[in-house]
Amino acid sequence: MTKLTRLDKLRLRLEAQNACLGWAFGQIENMDGPVFELGLGHGRTYDHLRTYLPDRDIFVFDREIDCYEDCTPPDDRMFLGNIDETLQSASKRFPRKAALVHSDMGSYTEAHNAAMSAKLSRLLPEVVAPGGLIVSDLPLAMDDAETLPLPPGALEGRYFLYRAL
C-alpha cells in the first residue's frame, strides 16, 4: 500500500470527524443535556455544532481564545483555562449531564497526545450522561464506556466513538 502522507491523514481525519459528528447529532436527538466542545481552536467544529444543533446549550473548553472572530462563543458558554481544571469545574456544574462531548484536543506531538488521552479518559466519565456520546480525535481508555464502530464515511482508527454506560 502507498504510504499515507500527512495530507492524506488530515483528509481522512476530517472526513471521519464530519461523519462521526453527523451520526452523533442523530443519536442524541431525543436526549436532554448540553453539548461540550473540547478544543475551540479556530472555531471550525464549534461552528459546525452550533449550526447543526441550534437548540442545544453548547459549552466550549480551551485555554485560549484564538478563533475566527465570528466563531467566538458567548462568554457564559466558555470554560477558559487548562482542561484539567475546567473539566473538573464542569463536572460539578453538570455532573454526568452532557449528551455529547466532542473532544478535539490532539496536537502534533505524541507526548502531548498520550498525556491528553490519559487525562481525558480520567475526567470525561464525570461529565457525560449515561448513554451519552464522546466523539474524540484521540483514543481514550475508559472503564465506564463502550467503544462504538465508526459510521459509514469514517475510516476506523481516524476518529474514535464511545458511549457512556
Q: Report how far apart the first and last C-alpha atoms of the chain are (Å, whole number).
A: 38
SS3 160: strand
For ligand SAM (CB under 6 A), the number of binding residues is 15
The helix (run of H) or strand (run of E) holding residue 136 is: strand 128-136
Task: Please report whether residue 96 would count as binding ligand SAM according to CB under 6 A.
Answer: no
Cα–Cα distance, 129 to 93 (Å, whole number)? 13
Stretch that binds ligand SAM, among 5-13, 88-96, 104-112, 121-129 (CB under 6 A): 104-112
Residue selected from 16, 19, 28, 40 as contacting ligand SAM according to rule CB under 6 A: 40
Query: 104, 127, 140, 150: which one contacts ligand SAM (CB under 6 A)?
Result: 104
Q: Among 12, 14, 22, 41, which residue sits at the site for ligand SAM (rule: CB under 6 A)?
A: 41
Name the segment binding ligand SAM (CB under 6 A); options: 1-9, 98-106, 128-136, 144-152.
98-106
Eight-state DSSP code of residue 94 = S
- Residue 154 burial by Cβ neighbours in a 10 Å radius (0-12, 13-18, 19+): buried
Selected range binding ligand SAM among 21-29, 41-49, 144-152, 153-161, rule: CB under 6 A: 41-49
